[in-house]
Amino acid sequence: MVFILVATFFTFGLKVVPLYVDHNLITGVCEELIESGEATNMTLTEIRERVGNTLRINNVTGFDLSDIRLRKESDKPIITIAYERRVELAANLDVVAKFDTVLR
């Protein structure tokens, strides 16, 4: 019985943890652009290209770059990353992770 419980948590972790690792990579790139001041002079396309290049280097697939949005308030960039990922856990059971991050 204990083995089944441990195996279940292990499987859940192997499926869910990569979603959060990928999200942290995406938000990390965008935070770096904001903190360095580069995002102030960049267009939305340039930001998406930078994130896309980083994702390609790190072999992250399944992320739609159109989920990244940019707006400027008082000439300060605000990047919004909003998306959800679905991962099959077992048979007809899926895990849905919803991410909605606003970076200033």
| Count helices and strands in the chain by DSSP H and E runs | 2, 3
pLDDT category at 56 given cuts 50, 70, 90 is very high
Residue 20's identity, in one-letter code, is: Y
Tell me which amino acid residue 89 is: L
- Greater model confidence, 89 or 70: 70
**Residue bearing tokens 């770096």:** 32
pLDDT value for 99: 98
Task: Give the range of the structural domain holding residue 63, as residue numbers without chain letter.
Answer: 2-103
Q: Looking at the 3D structure of the chain, how many domains does it have?
A: 1
Dihedral sign for Cα atoms in the order 74, 104, 29, 66: negative
**What's the mean pLDDT in 73-90?**
94
| pLDDT single digits (tens) 1-54 | 899 999 989 999 999 999 999 999 999 999 999 999 999 999 999 999 999 999
pTM, rounded to two decimals: 0.90
